[in-house]
Chain A
Amino acid sequence: MSVVERHPYVDNPGSPLPTLEGHISQGRLERVLRAGHFVVTSEIAPPDSADPDEVYHRAMLFDGVVDAINATDGSGANCHMSSMAVCALLTRVGYSPIMQISCRDKNRIAIQGDILGAAAIGICNVLALSGDDVSAGDHPQAKPVFDLDSVSLLSTIKTLRDKSHFLSGRKIDSPPAIFPGSTVNPFVPPVASRVLQLKKKIDAGAEFIQTQYCFDMPVLRDMMKRAVDMGLTERAFILPGVGTLASASTARWLKNNVPGVHIPEALIKRLEGTVNQKAEGQKICVELMQKIKEMEGVSGVHIMAYKQESSVADMVQESGVLNGREPWFPNQQ
């Protein structure tokens, strides 16, 4: 009898689910995706605190509206509680977290160790990222690592999981059953080659893709169309990213100061023309979700509502993208 079977916590919601046929992981996210539902994911900014309750309070805001929760990894190169620790806390009560690994902070030795450890504590999903440069954050004095990049990280996960050995060739006794994902920014010029980069990530092993903020629907639609034509949407689940704009000036600030964020001028004008800009920003987010749901080839949507996490539930409900489905959450009746 294994330790887990003998353990009194075996009925703990955090225990891994049985792996279904044809599935890679024991996680809920993969199950909902493969079942063909329109999936909603969102992210929590890890707290600047050592108090676990802060993590649970942030996660609870998403109860009943999201299928998985990303825990960012030093996003914007700012220091917070680690992604792995947030995910470990979330798995204890049964949430389905997505652990983010940014190549900025760790070399291949640390990363491989984290992947094994993550699988051991019940984390089923990992998002591979390059990460923002240290100069963007609050510790510009830090040494940037960038030993791997996101594609190399994806192939590393594949090696550990499918070949059951480390990059060095040394054997692993029990391989990590990780469901890996990565990101793509559909708006980087030349935009036509973005779908080729998407393909590269899928070739490297990405099973799901969460994109950068998508405010420009025609460009996204174009990439999705190409992805469908190339058969990529058959090979990976694509979740375009949406966000809320608190006001026209925030939108303009984001556009000018946060690299990689592309916001069409018309949208900023629309915000400027309204009295309650925050409400309008949320309305835009709802509309974006609805438009994305109608696109061919998408499997869901990823909501990044930094500092507006408490509005996520309302926005998802209003958009109707879940079709009345209520994603699992701890203590659900």
Chain B
Amino acid sequence: MYKARLFATRYSRLYERFYAFSEPIILNIMRIVSNISGGRLDGLMTRMEKASKGFLFDCKMCGNCVLSSTGMTCPMNCPKTIRNGPCGGVRENGQCEVKPEMVCVWVQAWEGAERMKNGNKINDLQFATDKSVQGSSAWLNILKQREVQAKEQLTVEKAS
């Protein structure tokens, strides 16, 4: 929702704290549920993620969530889906060049980042999204990635 999205940027500091606190909990619950159900509830959890993040941030389920690095503003709402914005076309009043009825996502992102404790994460380079995971759960993707990393770590340790 557009209004909720603007609200998230305005209170980015608060959202940041809430997110930092709740994310590990959410991830743990999802890991346990996914393990117990043998992946059968992954679809349901993905839909729940879509509903909640969709309402709060206008989340587009790109599957590569970077909210905490972009001032709690979802960059996929940028019509050009820029991950390191803004583009050169922002209007003088800060509105988007493509959709003049909306504030430029990246003007919001930089403003939101200024209010956050770890707002300087916006300076990190973000590579374009992996389109093959579009529509999937970013949280489940994080868990999968961690699993892969843990396995790699284990093989490295075994080898040495």
Contact = CB atoms under 8 A, between A and B. Distances in A.
Interface stretch (A89-97, A173-181, A193-201): A193-201
A131 to B, nearest CB: 8
Nearest to A184: B88
A52 interface: no
B101 interface: no
B89 A189 contact: no
Contact of B107 (A130, A146, A190, A200): A190
Interface residues of A, number: 38
Contact of A183 (B88, B111, B127, B128): B88
B131 A147 contact: yes
Nearest to B104: A188
Interface stretch (A24-32, A149-157, A220-228, A268-276): A149-157
A150 B97 contact: no
A185 B131 CA distance: 28
B98 interface: yes
A18 B94 CA distance: 46
B88 A212 contact: yes
Contacts of B111: 190
A190 B114 contact: yes
B125 A259 contact: no
B85 interface: yes
Interface in A99-114: 103-104, 108
Contacts of B128: 108, 147-149, 152
A152 B86 CA distance: 13
Contacts of B94: 188-189
A260 interface: yes
Interface stretch (B23-31, B37-45, B74-82, B140-148): B74-82
A189 B125 contact: no
B126 interface: yes
A152 B84 contact: yes
B35 to A, nearest CB: 31
Interface residues of B, number: 29
B98 to A, nearest CB: 4
A12 to B, nearest CB: 36
Say whether chain B's binding surface is mostly helix, strand, loop, or mixed.
Answer: loop
A204 interface: yes
B57 interface: no
A135 interface: yes
Nearest to A201: B84
B80 A189 contact: no
B157 interface: no
Contacts of B98: 133, 135-136
A151 B89 contact: no
Contacts of A255: 92
Given A152-B83, A185-B88, A185-B90, A193 B110 contact: yes
A149 B90 contact: no
Contacts of B86: 185, 188, 197
A148 B127 CA distance: 8
B121 to A, nearest CB: 12
Contacts of B83: 149, 151-152
A151 B91 contact: no
Interface of B: 79-92, 94, 97-98, 104, 107, 110-111, 114, 122-123, 125-128, 131
**Closest 8 A/B residue pairs (Cβ):** A259-B97, A151-B84, A259-B89, A152-B128, A260-B89, A185-B88, A149-B82, A133-B98
